[in-house]
Amino acid sequence: MHGSKFIFSRYPPNTVVILFNSQKRWNPEKHLICETWSSSANLSKSIQNPTNKTKDLAHVRHAFLPNLVCKWATYIAICKVSPNLSALSLSDTRMKSVPVPFRKAYETKHDVISCFSPLFYNERWQLIIPTLEIYRQYGVGLQVFYIQSIRKEIYNFLQAYKNANLVEIEPWIMINLGPEHSKLKDPNSELEWRNQAGAHTDCFLKYREAAEFIIVADIDDILFPRIGNNYIQEFQALSSQYPFAAGFTYNRYNTEVVASKSPTGFSLFKLIDSARISNEFEDGKSVIRPSRVQTAWIHWPSIYESGYHIITVPEKRNFMIHLRNWTMVF
C-alpha cells in the first residue's frame, strides 16, 4: 500500500483523506481503521497515551474506475479525526496499526491552479517555457509540476519560478516494495500511465482548498481563452451558463510547432506563430470546480457530487491545442 494523506476543510470538520495504491484484488469493502491522537506530543508518545486516542471506520472506495488491464488500482479512504490532530495511524482489523505521516491541504487562495501530469524523462525545455508563460499570462496563479525524472537544468529553471511563488514542485516517486517482495510484479508497471491519474488526484486533493477552478492537463496541452479575456472570466462564464457543472472538458487537437534547438534562438512569439492545428482529435482535458468534485482522472473528474455533471465545451466556442508534433531548427 502506498499513498498520500491530507487534512481538509471542505469536507466536514476534522476529516482526513488518504489516497493510496494497492493490488486491484484488494477489496475496498475491507475494513480500515483510522486511529488519531490530539496531543502536541510526538507520535510514539501519543500512541502510548490511550486517553486522547480516537478511532473511526474509514470509508474506502476506488478513486476512479480501475483499468481492466492493470493489476494495481488507486483508492481513497475518508476518516474523521481528532481535533488538533498530531498523529495518525492506519490498520485493518487483523494487524497492528502503522503510523501514517500527514500534511495539511494548501491554503493560499488563487482563482485558478493548474495540476500537470508527472514529468518523466523530461528534457524538452522548449515545451516548459510556453506552458509556464501562457498559463501565467492568462491567470493561473499557481502551476503545480509533479516530477519523476527531469534534466537538472530544467529543474533549476522551474525552481526559479517556484522562488517567485508561481510554481510548486511535487516529487512523484516510484513505488518500491523492498527486497522482501521482489518476486511480485512491479506495481509501477501495473498502474495506468505510471500512476498518472493518481498524481492528478494527489494534486487535486492537496490544492482544492485554495482554488475556485483547477485545470488538470499535460504540459503540452494549452488553452487560449476565447469565452473570456482570461481563464477566470471564461470559467465563470461557463459556470453561469451551466450552474450544475462539476467541471468542463475541452476537446484537444494535435498541433505542430517549430522551435529553435538553441536557447539563444528561441522565441515564444515565433513558436506560437508557427502553430498549425490539425484535424486530429484526442480525448479532452478538464477544468474542475473543486467544491463539487472528490477525485480527478486523466481526462475528466471521476467522483463528483450528486446532482452535478461534466460539460464538454462546444468546439465552436473553444478547445485545447495539444503541442504534439515538434520540428527543431538551428
Give the model's confidence band at 2: pLDDT under 50 very low, under 70 low, under 90 confident, else very high.
low
% residues pLDDT > 90 (the chain): 67
Are the CB atoms for 78 and 126 separated by under 8 Å? no
Is the confidence at residue 38, as pLDDT, over 60?
A: yes
Cα–Cα distance, 272 to 256 (Å, whole number):
10
pLDDT of residue 52: 75
Q: How confident is the model at residue 266 (pLDDT cuts 50, 70, 90)?
A: very high
- Backbone phi, psi, residue 87, to 5°: -155, 150
Instruction: Kindly report which listed range (49-53, 285-289, 305-309) carries the lowest average pLDDT score.
Output: 49-53
Query: Looking at 36-50, 87-101, 264-278, which range is the least confident one?
Result: 36-50
- pLDDT reported for residue 27: 79
User: Which three cell numbers, joined as nine digits, stand for 200?
Assistant: 492528478
Q: Tens digit of pLDDT for each residue in 80-127? A: 988 888 899 988 877 778 888 888 889 999 999 999 999 988 999 999
Calpha distance 226→224 (Å, rounded) = 6
Comparing 288 with 98, the larger pLDDT belongs to 288
> Residues 262-273: what's their mean pLDDT?
96
Q: Is the confidence at residue 164, as pLDDT, over 50? A: yes
Q: What is the pLDDT of residue 219?
A: 97
Separation between Cα atoms, residue 119 and residue 116, nearest integer Å = 8
The pLDDT-based confidence of 178 (bands split at 50, 70, 90) is confident
User: 110-329 belongs to which CATH class?
Assistant: alpha beta
Domain spans of the chain, in order of start: 2-104, 110-329
pLDDT of residue 139: 98
What is the per-residue pLDDT for 259? Answer: 97
Mean pLDDT for 258-267 is 95
Name the grid cell of 318: 473553444
pLDDT, position 46: 47
* DSSP for residue 107: -
Could you read off the pLDDT of 4-29 as tens digits, one per residue?
655 555 678 889 999 999 988 887 77
- pLDDT tens-place string over residues 211-252: 999 999 999 999 999 999 999 999 999 999 999 999 999 999
Grid cell for residue 56: 473511526
Q: What is the mean pLDDT of the chain?
A: 90
Grid coordinates in use for 36? Answer: 488519531
| pLDDT tens-place string over residues 126-136 | 999 999 999 99
At the top level of CATH, the class of 2-104 is mainly beta
Q: At what angle do helices 125-137 and 152-163 cross, to 10 degrees?
A: 20
**Which residue has better confidence, 299 or 178?**
299
Residues belonging to the chain: 330
Given a contact cutoff of 8 angstroms between Cβ atoms, the answer to whether 115 and 200 are in contact is yes
241 to 26, 138, 231, 311: CA distances (angstroms): 42, 21, 15, 11
pTM of the model: 0.90
